[in-house]
Structure 1
Amino acid sequence: MSQVERWFVRQGLPTLRLDDGRRDTLARMAPVLAFVGVTGLLERPLQNMVIVLYCVAAAGAFALRYWIGVTRRSVAVRWTRFASVCLYWASAIGMVEFSGPEVTVSAVGSVVILGTFFPVAYLATAYGLVPLAGRALLHVVRDVRDSVQLQARSLPLLLFLTLFFFFTGELWQLADRLSWWRESVVIGIFATVTVCASAARLREEIQQIEQRLSIPEMLSACRGTPLEGALDECAAAVPLTRRQSFNLLLLLAGRQLTQAAVVGVGMFLFFVSIGLVLIDPATMQQWIGSPPNPSNLIPVLPVALLRVSLLLAGFASMYFAISTMTDPHYRKEFFPPVIRELERALAVRAAYLTLMGRGGRSATGHARQAGS
């Protein structure tokens, strides 16, 4: 794998490579498969050394990940991939054998979990979900650091939209009767709507970026990547496949959700503070029809207040995320960081395809030299 292709993998965009990531997906899964397989096979006989075993297996998994990332010995990588898959499924069979003649429910459950984990891990590796999650955490840290400015620009309209509902008795009755898992489902629906809205706008955004990007901008976007200084021109944009569009959708949706989550936390804290100051227990009891129950986690806060605040914060976050894509004012204020993510990915892809189009393996070697 060339330096440029590894850069795509680290950015969480493995499908943007010429070989869209299908061939090496199992190889990149090998560290986690080997870790699960080794610990699954050896945990039973070494129950008194579980912590040491996990530490050794984790260190080995990290070493294996580094080795696969830098090695060019494809035959060795293929054998490593095969051995990791064998270890993984051998651990699933071993769980049943360890249970004795009568297979226990826990053993069957463990095998089902391992069987479900494998395709989930495959999809997560194929679409770079782990590096995308890491980038999302970095964005959260950056947005929290700049949260004062972010909240100051987003709160006025969101409060105008939601503050009236905060003082509605019917909403308090509804929230008080909701269980936490049902409210989590509602928040998940809000997040799903945000992702669907991002998917609807993705194709349009990509077309606008490709039409707007000039050659100097493409070359400028390659700074800090293995392609920096390797090209003096870029070819025209090549249409994206479905897998590549979906991978970029994950990038766009992750950036949108992290920004909306930071705004949602600010809204939640605001509503909790307003509720503690303005709404006394007698008023709260009149709205919900019974004495408010204190939270088990924070006894000084009523459960109804937390649920109402969470519900309104989730709705406000969804509205904020969609508004940043559709409303011209909000788009100008909050959408540029998201657009820059897409611009850089598409620009580097154009430069990468230009380099690869100059002669197959020689281009790949040129890319390696540019990244060294």
Structure 2
Amino acid sequence: MTGDRTAVEAWFLAHGLPYFVAEERAAARAGLRPRRLVSLAVVVLVLAALAGLLAWASDAYAVGPALWLSITVLALIWYASTALRARPILAFALSRTLGSVRFLVPMASRALPLLLVFVTFLFVNAEAWQMTTNLPFGLLWFTVLLMFGLAVLFLLVRLPEEVDRVDDEVDDDFVVRACAGTPLEEASREVAADPGIDPRAHAQVSGFERWNLILVLLVIQTVQVLLLSVTVFVFFMLFGSLVMQVDTQLAWTGAKTVGEVPFLSSVSLSLVKVSLFLASFSGFYFTVSAVTDDTYRRDFFRVVESQLERAVGMRTVYLAARERR
């Protein structure tokens, strides 16, 4: 094998692929042992009980489910980043997304106009203001987390198709192109030139490595959706603070007061609630549209397409070169 194993594994770790390294994969597998998962469940249950007691003591019962769900999500992220060795996945995916904001501009310019036209009709609707204003903030936050969870679940169902599509395209030209500029560049040319090695025999990604690719895609696409949702939230906050006068809000909500956000006299709590709800709804709507509609699908996956091909190509050459050696 021409490429140095240490350099290749360091490349895998730097590019958010820890499960492509045998030692990291074994450590993650150990983190999924029943004994350790039971310990995690006990910690989550204790924190959930404390959250319930806090909600009960403050007479804000609606806060309980939202607080419990938030704690559970944070605990799972913490456990994944430590015991399951997923920290490189999170770090690379976040840096990749934030470093590729320029690719989000064409996607946003195509998706946002129609989305905003559609959601603005809900924004200038009295029923939407009544519903969100009457919701306790804890229950509203639970609804936001629920929509976010549905979007993540939808991505988990569809993203494996992208992995399957890429590893089905592997051939000699694919591995040479994918490994250009990597520690396996020379090895990829040797593998492609060897008639006794078929790269497709090592192309299928399964197990932990397949989930590694899916998680990288999931984090990157989730951050994209969050950025788009934040954009919608900021738009409605600015738009609402300009056109939605207090008298109009009181007439639509039927409340005696809409509440004022400290230090922002032009912004009401009702405006924050309806903007937050519509932003979360927009994120879910955009996720479904971007994955199912070919018009947005290409832009949505542009940020990760080359990285996915490179990861599959590197793994194929890594395994093929080991066999050749």
Q: Give the TM-score taking structure 2 as reference length.
A: 0.73
* CA–CA distance in structure 1, aligned partners of residues 109 and 288 of structure 2: 18
Partner of residue 186, structure 1: 143
Go from structure 1 to structure 2 and tell me whether the alpha carbon gap of 1:6 and 1:311 turns closer, same or farther (over 3 Å shift).
same
Aligned pairs (5 A) from 1:1-372? 2-18=6-22, 21-23=25-27, 123-125=80-82, 127-144=84-101, 148-232=105-189, 233=191, 235-236=199-200, 237-290=202-255, 291-296=257-262, 298-359=264-325
Shift of 1:155: 0.9
- When residues 148 and 252 of structure 1 are mapped into structure 2, their CA distance, relative to the original with a 3 A threshold, is closer
Deviation at 1:138, TM superposition (A): 2.1
Relative to structure 1, the CA distance from residue 335 to residue 145 in structure 2 (aligned partners, 3 Å threshold; closer, same or farther) is: closer
Cα distance change on mapping 1:356 and 1:161 into 2, 3 Å: farther
- Residue type of the partner of 1:336? R
Higher relative contact order (CA 8 A, sep 6+): 2
Query: In 1, distance between residues paired with 2:76 and 2:115?
Result: 40
Deviations 1:7-27 (A, max 9, x none): 22222222223556215889x
Give the fraction of aligned pairs with identical amino acids, expressed as a percent: 30
The residue identity in structure 1 corresponding to 2:149 is T
User: Cα distance 1:294–1:224, how it changes in 2: closer, same or farther (>3 A)?
Assistant: farther
Q: Deviations over 1:4-51 (max 9, x none)?
A: 12222222222223556215889xxxxxxxxxxxxxxxxxxxxxxxxx
Q: 1:299 to 1:277 in 2, by over 3 A?
A: closer
Contact 1:21/1:126 (8 A) holds in 2: no
Larger radius of gyration: 1
| Change over 3 Å in CA distance of 1:136–1:288 after alignment to 2 | farther
Residues 315, 120 of structure 1: alpha-carbon distance in 2 compared, 3 angstrom cutoff: closer
Deviation track 1:155-214 (CA, whole Å, cap 9, x = no partner) reads 122113311111122221222233443333222222222222222123322222122243
Deviation of residue 354 (structure 1)? 1.1
RMSD: 2.9
Q: Is the 8 A contact 2:19 2:208 kept in 1?
A: yes
Structure 1 residue 254: deviation in Å?
0.6
- What runs of 5+ residues in structure 1 fail to find an aligned partner? 27-116, 360-372
Give SS of 1:21's match: helix
Unaligned runs of 5+ in 2: 31-73, 193-198
- TM-score, scaled to structure 1: 0.64
> Does the residue aligned with 2:324 lie in a helix, a strand or coil?
coil
- Retained in 1: the 8 A contact 2:159–2:218? no
CA distance in 1, matches of 2:262, 2:292: 40
CA distance in 2, matches of 1:150, 1:162: 18
Q: 1:23 to 1:176 in 2, by over 3 A?
A: closer
Residue 76 of structure 1 corresponds to none
